[in-house]
Amino acid sequence: MLSDLKSLRIEDYDYPLPDDRIARYPLARRDHSRLLALQGESLGEHRFLDLPSLLPQDTMLVFNDTRVIHARLFFRKETGATIEVFCLEPHAMAISEAFEQRGHCTWTCLIGNNKKWKEGPLTLHFTSRQAEYTLAATRRQAVGNAWIVDFQWDGGSSFAEVIEAAGVIPLPPYMNRQAEASDADRYQTVYALHDGSVAAPTAGLHFTPEVLERLKASGVDTEYITLHVGAGTFKPVSTPTIGGHEMHVEPVHVTASNLRRLAAHSGRPLVAVGTTTVRTLESLYWFGVQLQQDPDLPGMHIRQWDPYTLPSQGLPYADAYGNILRWMERHGTDRLAGATQLMIAPGYEYKVIRGLVTNFHQPKSTLLLLVSALVGDRWREVYRYALAHGFRFLSYGDSCLFLP
């Protein structure tokens, strides 16, 4: 099975996406986007406001409550050259701890215009709490195509406060524009809580407090988990077959309360909001399978092909999550911080989710593979309809509901 999966050709997941169909700006109102719903055999067009009425009875919607950080820092040299330092992830430190640091921290970063950075630190002046401060960046060693960078600053602010004041929200490269002031709000879900992503979980951008209230009034339950989205989410599949593509690793954070509520919902429809939520829920399942075999594992790290080699033996997801809860109890913690590199592609058998709210994804992307694993070749029908009927694509675009 794994060899068949690895031999899937990425060109079979291509489609023509005209440049003018990529939404470069959001609509004036989040919940006025269009929603294309594939429910069983039927395909119908709706408004996003209609979502509560389209979900099956007893549905639980699961959201990713990560928050996008102002990851792009622009340093200007005395020569006039601008060097961008793009913060990817903390170096040798948990992300929550890194944001609490005061005065100094170290991150793994991408560097734009790196050749212009000769020796010594770069400095950037910024305003926080109506006062002027200075942030200094010192480049250390290279790690792949990234660099280890030390940051130092004055004023006693946390790094979370520094990057919020000094940095710029990172928009996806396909928007082909600079971030504007409004993006700091609109490229963020209304329920964003935990700092750590460099890209938004964009399926969540359509939700408003009004839609969330409608969901509650309709009896739809909700739950919030966390996966911090990395820049690798935009990494194209550049190999002829997916077996040659290396998935990016992203941190996952869930609580014991999350797992108990999710396990208690077993047997009823569970619908994920966004592909990052899917990867989190399914990765947790496979960690539970690993614990079934070895309860003494030190922690969670799901590798790219693990689900295709691990014998699940039909383990229900409630039991898998129960294994994690017992593991957490033995380790004296009510929070799990893990990592996943999971690739979901056609041939994958979903263990947890029964539906998905998502946006329209780039051609030949791992996100499109994930959708195809859920609905098969019907993704082509959905995308053809969307292109023929003026739907807007990608991060600021319209949305889909898949209930196969």
Token readout for 294 is 């070895």
pLDDT at 77: 87
Scan for tokens 């994804």, then name that residue: 361
Q: Are the C-beta atoms of 227 and 252 separated by less than 8 Å? A: yes
pLDDT at 120: 86
Mean pLDDT, rounded, for 46-57: 97
Tell me the C-alpha to C-alpha distance, in Å, between residue 200 and each of 194, 227, 235: 12, 11, 15
Q: Indicate whether 128 pLDDT > 80.
A: no
pLDDT at 384: 98
Mean pLDDT, rounded, for 378-388: 98
To the nearest whole number, what is the mean pLDDT of the chain? 95
> pLDDT class for 150, splitting at 50, 70, 90?
very high
Scan for tokens 């739907």, then name that residue: 391
**Phi, then psi, of 36 in degrees rounded to 5:** -105, 115
Q: Indicate whether 232 pLDDT > 90.
A: no
pLDDT at 132: 85
CA angle 107, 113, 114 (to 5 degrees): 55
How does DSSP classify residue 190?
T
pLDDT tens across 295-340, in order?
999 999 999 999 999 988 899 999 999 999 999 999 999 999 999 9
pLDDT tens across 56-95, in order?
999 999 999 999 999 999 999 888 899 999 999 999 899 9
Scan for tokens 């970063």, then name that residue: 109
Mean pLDDT, rounded, for 183-197: 97
Helical pair 317-330 and 275-293, crossing angle rounded to 10 deg: 70
- Please tell me the pTM assigned to this model: 0.95
Mean pLDDT, rounded, for 257-283: 98
Q: Indicate whether 33 pLDDT > 90.
A: yes
pLDDT at 343: 96
> pLDDT class for 234, splitting at 50, 70, 90?
confident
Q: Indicate whether 126 pLDDT > 90.
A: no
Q: Indicate whether 1 pLDDT > 80.
A: no
Token readout for 364 is 């030949």
Output 78 or 146, whichever has higher pLDDT: 146
* Portion of the chain with pLDDT greater than 90, in percent: 90
Q: Give kind and range of the element (H or E) at residue 215.
A: helix 209-217
pLDDT at 325: 98
pLDDT tens across 332-369, in order?
999 999 999 999 999 999 999 999 999 999 999 999 99
The lowest-confidence range among 142-146, 264-268, 294-298 is 142-146
pLDDT at 398: 98
Rounded Cα distance, 71 and 309, in Å? 36
Cβ partners under 8 Å of residue 100, min gap 6: 158, 159, 160
Instruction: For the domain made up of 2-67+190-403, give the CATH fold.
Output: QueA-like (3.40.1780)
b/e for 355-385, b at 16 or more Cβ within 10 A?
Answer: bbbbbbbbbbbbbbbbbbbbbeebbeebbee
In single-letter form, the type of residue at position 190 comes to: V
Token readout for 60 is 């639980």
In single-letter form, the type of residue at position 370 comes to: L
pLDDT at 39: 96
Rounded Cα distance, 81 and 401, in Å? 46
How does DSSP classify residue 63?
E
Q: Indicate whether 129 pLDDT > 90.
A: no
pLDDT at 4: 87
Strand pairing report for 60-64 and 270-273: parallel
Rounded Cα distance, 197 and 64, in Å? 11
Q: Indicate whether 187 pLDDT > 80.
A: yes
